[in-house]
A and B are shown apart, each in its own frame.
Chain A
């Protein structure tokens, strides 16, 4: 057994009414890459907070770092021991330059009241050199891609003498390629004897990068396993305590008039020569890398990004879609990629978000909103989609990711769409919640709705769609019938193209 960097024994944390952590023993060896997985509410974030000293454990816990035992472990201890946390929101300053962001901790720590810009650039350059990356020093962080922002955050952690780097959900907003690049960096850090704790709910990624994985469920530790002994399925089982069965979505060969048909749809710099049909009851998957034109295509169908040429036919009738209103009147629903920005009014209540698309149906004779009708409608949706919310008037931002997404779905289901386009329907959602969203999608399809699911997770489209199209550089480069292909084949196709 290698030397331990961190050893925690019998760590518990009780908040009013909730046992967030229950006698956890947790160890990280020096220089290892350790994965930490668990669903929302499993105690992952509480554990991170205790490791970083932001929260103190309840009586009886023993914490040792590099063999040194602490009585009252505080954030200052964690900083002095070289523990750095990179939170999901990265805590960067979008309005400052790369150099300034990276060197910020050093600037604050320095005794001088003045800033030396040469020193700022030096620190930043050295940090970037350590992981062999180059981002222009005077670029605003705001103008960087999320992946580069992540690297900036890592560089900032490197400026202090970091020994344990904790990455909290680092890959949520990254593309496949960017994830690979991040992994290279993490491996590189390992060669420099920096330990990494990789916290994520993307199981395949955890298995790929981590040497050992610790699993938490409901505040208890299920165990720590070498990742070579684990598979996706087994990990899911350990995390959720349930076996998630993947049954492929299969339907009979559709016939007759397609719900939606697209012919030679093109827009310069967006997509080119797109042809496909969508029949009732189908779930059509569109996959491809970020920047392949998939989102642009979806937005074109929903009137947000008008195509320049080509035809869109709905039930055999040629139509033009110039605006969102027109798309909606044609029975098209759209769940955007970024529900925070485009899908929900985060500060508004669950109730108001659900009825926002169908207000005109709730109007009574006096042109006022019929409160009873509204209430009925809201309650039936909440029940139907089992949205877990403390109250119907709770703000949407207080819900978990999975429940937020259910609210988005509820909002559109209310409009009785014939065609439903979902861009990244399970981004940032737990495994368990994910499968329940997939369940909802299938039920809709069985009722005869035509559904398009856009996702960069091949496994997601593979397990839930009857047909899959691969997009690359604005074109559809391949089409598969799910029953006659495999996940690997699709993945290979994407890799080959790029």
Chain B
């Protein structure tokens, strides 16, 4: 119990539970499997981006360019499958390849020029997005192939509500789940993953201990690129429209979700479980607001309040701990 209280995640989970209870009392349809599957599916795009961001934050860096990477990957993928055809695997390969390549460019710039990651990736965000807009002219793409549409509609299993509305575990959601599992194994059970934590905890110590900083950094940024590429694909699957201006601008939402989940902007700290909770909290906030029939005018106010509430919980806990540490045993 005492151990649980040490983790930031516990507090976010607590906020989620309290908040879910309130929503359910007001609208019981919140706590239905149908709503659950719908929400998880809608947030798979943000969720996959968040996995990538978690990696960079743990490694002690930051990536702002991931939305541009997602956009470019999505656009290139869409253009190619429309022009040359293909199937869902080519779509995956294309999005992943573009994402990894752009991520590698980020990593190379950061490693060799030793520029702060935030500056580098703000620059590459503009470069990637700018080049895409110049080449594409900002044209939207709606005419995606039929198989692309069909793939998005696949459910691994289907359930039915009393009113006869079908729902279930979408293939899109399972991409997210798969990504999370792989990422979790990497972070928790591989040398590489522990190297990312070590690097974020203390770059110098990691170097002295014999971690290959170059390789780890390359991996982190190309992995974030890969996640962005996959997220771009997933977003295209979700809305069946590729609009270059629809993803860029969501950087801060994603970073906020990850930080809400306990990752530190200073590096070294963060877990995938926390990230999932962070995304969940953001998701049920938005979902719950509508379900509680709160006027949209109040959305932003509530979102801000709940973010503060969940951060305040663990900040307060940390402060009392610090207080206890300096306290003197007075007789």
Contacts and interface: CB of A to CB of B under 8 A. Distances in A.
Nearest to A473: B331
A96 B201 contact: yes
Interface string B196-209: 01101110111011
A293 B328 CA distance: 6
Interface string B172-196: 0000000000000000111111100
B268 A271 contact: no
Contacts of A91: 202, 204-205, 208-209
B330 interface: yes
Given A94-B201, A95-B200, A104-B198, A115 B326 contact: no
A474 B202 contact: no
A269 B328 contact: yes
A93 interface: yes
Contact of A94 (B202, B210, B327): B202
A292 B189 CA distance: 43
B92 interface: no
Contacts, number: 83
A138 B189 CA distance: 16
Given A93-B206, A104-B209, A473 B328 contact: yes
Interface string A75-89: 000000000000001
A96 B197 contact: yes
B163 interface: no
Contacts of A95: 197, 200-201, 268-269
A268 interface: yes
Contacts of A246: none
Interface size class of A (residues with CB under 8 A): 20 to 34
A431 B209 CA distance: 32
A48 B208 CA distance: 15
B329 interface: yes
Contact of B328 (A96, A104, A296): A296
A108 interface: yes
Interface string A105-142: 10110101111010000000000000000000010000
CB-CB nearest 8 A-B residue pairs: A474-B330, A95-B268, A95-B201, A93-B201, A269-B327, A91-B205, A293-B328, A474-B328
28 contacts: A89-B205, A91-B202, A92-B205, A93-B198, A93-B201, A93-B202, A95-B200, A95-B201, A95-B268, A96-B197, A96-B201, A100-B194, A105-B209, A107-B194, A108-B210, A112-B191, A115-B188, A115-B194, A138-B3, A269-B328, A270-B328, A271-B330, A272-B331, A291-B328, A292-B328, A473-B330, A474-B329, A475-B331
Given A115-B190, A291-B329, A292-B328, 4 more contacts: A95-B268, A115-B189, A269-B330, A475-B330
